[in-house]
A = this chain, B = another copy of it.
Amino acid sequence: MNSNIALLIIDMQNDVVEKLPLAPGIIPGIRDILDRFRTVKKPVFHIGRSYRSDGTDVELPRLEIFKEHGFRIVEGTRGAEIVEPLKPLPDEYVIIKSRWSGFFNTSLDLLLNRLGIGTVVITGVQTPNCVRTTAYDAIAYDLDTIVIKDCSAAMTEQVHEYNLADMANIGVQVMLKDEFFKQFESVVMK
């Protein structure tokens, strides 16, 4: 862990959290980490997804589903807003993406580079999609990459577990929040 560290909170938006039964349970843990970052004034990135109401930027397989069942996570709607307990402060970074990875067609890499960030801590949903693609890209960009196991979630515990195992195999550090806090205290708050 590098003391130049940033927190990434992924897709904790109303429309996402309300559709994913295991997501509400991780809100308090993410809030704990968020509070810790705010206390030591380390950068926080709220990464979310939102779509145009005309659907032009929706990935094609999802567009079919949206047409059938109604659009979700549309920009400007309550569904696209970050859940109340994790609302960004004015000086925190908000990154809007229209695909899975927080790095895909966004300025995330540029901002992390400018801030001299060496370590990213990833939390949020869902483990197999936005969490995982962001973690793979973070490693690809030579970032020391941590995923907090009890602050991320998938549709099932099993999907969560096997995705974390794949990430650990390529060098992502998968750890529990308490374990992370121990390292955070010794490296960042020392």
The residues of A with any CB-CB pair to B shorter than 8 Å are 59-62, 99-101, 104, 128-129, 133, 136-137, 139-140, 142, 144, 159, 162-163, 166, 169-171
30 interchain pairs, CB-CB under 8 A? A59-B139, A59-B140, A59-B142, A59-B171, A60-B139, A60-B142, A60-B144, A60-B171, A61-B139, A61-B170, A61-B171, A62-B170, A62-B171, A99-B140, A100-B136, A100-B140, A101-B136, A101-B140, A104-B137, A104-B140, A128-B166, A128-B169, A129-B136, A129-B166, A129-B170, A133-B133, A133-B136, A159-B166, A162-B162, A163-B166
A45 to B170, CA, bound (A): 25
